Amino acid sequence: MAFFRAACIQLRSGKTVSENIAVAETLIRSAAGKGASYLQTPEMSNVLVRSREELLDRIADEDGDPFLARMRALAAELEVFIHIGSIAVLSDNGKVANRAFVIEPAGAILARYDKIHMFDVDLPNGESWRESATYEPGTQTVIADLFGIKVGMAVCYDIRFPAIFRTQARAGAEVLTAPAAFTRQTGRAHWHVLQRARAIENGAFVISAAQGGTHEDGRETFGHSLVVDPWGEILAELDHDEPGYVLAEIDTAMAVKARQRIPAIANERDFVCATADGLKEMTA
């Protein structure tokens, strides 16, 4: 069991990487000054641009990405963990990785995670997104060890796929994460309930920093960065879509207690699904 102060850093990332770095750094310094030792930024912290051609003009590979380099230096200077919710980085195959990083206080990269689920959807208001046209999906879930605490990594649309979070909880994760750039439309409908559901069903904290507001490329994101406790209560929320941050105290004893009260993970059983074609084996 452990205790730490977490910060969700809410951004409104635009097309200019240097400007996004400056905003993120200012907010991180302020939150760290108030005792945060784990600071999480949203999905696509380095740049948010819809055009594939514009995106490719603005990003680099991991070794050359200025946002990642600055966050590594900042983590070392402030002696904190910085969890980059994700940045766009060039992959070896010509596609782009939507990649999250956890940076330790010495400035080294502790863990990487590539977003698994691509947001390929057509929404009722006419919005259409095809992330798979640009991004290469990841293939494995990742758990980082911070302060001796297991922290599961996920990104945005992953929140709609409970198996990732259940797999992490089964492996001992007490803190789950889903930093995001949720659309305003889907955020209004589902953001809070999805975050709370993942926390409740796994008896774990969920920490999710978000993009918010109207961006340079015209997209609208929901904001409302929040921290949910293992009983499903919202501990802290930035109740708007403006850049800023919110702080919450994380005590992993709460996860232990929640899992003792409702031992859903321990009580899981394998089962089969009866179909017209016969029985097909299923796993929880």
Catalytic residue among 8, 15, 104, 115: 115
Per the listing, tokens 């995001």 go with 180
Q: How many CB atoms lie within 10 A of CB 277?
A: 6
Residue 8 bears catalytic tag: no
Decide if 231 contacts 264 (C-beta within 8 A): no
Catalytic residue chosen out of the listed positions 8, 136, 150, 156: 156
- Reading the chain (284 residues) residue by residue, the pLDDT tens digits are 589 999 999 999 999 999 999 999 999 999 999 999 999 999 999 999 988 899 999 999 999 999 999 999 999 999 999 999 999 999 888 789 999 999 999 999 999 999 999 876 787 877 777 788 889 999 999 999 998 999 999 999 999 999 999 999 999 999 999 999 999 999 999 999 999 999 999 999 999 999 999 999 999 999 999 999 999 999 999 999 999 999 999 999 999 999 999 999 999 999 988 876 665 555 55
Q: How far apart are CA 155 and CA 208, in angstroms?
A: 9
Q: HSE (CB half, 13 Å, CA atoms) of 168?
A: 33
Burial of 53 (0-12, 13-18, 19+ CB in 10 A): exposed
Q: Which of 100, 29, 111 is nearest to 67 (CA)?
A: 100
Active site (annotated) includes residue 34: no
What are the sequence ranges of the domains in the chain? 3-282
Q: For domain 3-282, give the CATH number.
A: 3.60.110.10
E-only strand ranges, the chain: 3-10, 38-40, 81-90, 96-103, 109-114, 120-122, 128-130, 142-146, 149-153, 175-177, 205-208, 212-214, 220-222, 226-228, 234-237, 244-251, 271-275, 278-282
- Give the pLDDT score at 276: 67
Catalytic residue among 8, 15, 43, 104: 43
**Helix pair angle (162-170, 184-202), 10° resolution:** 30
**CA dist., res. 275 & res. 145, Å (int):** 41
pLDDT recorded at residue 274? 83
Q: Is 156 a catalytic residue?
A: yes
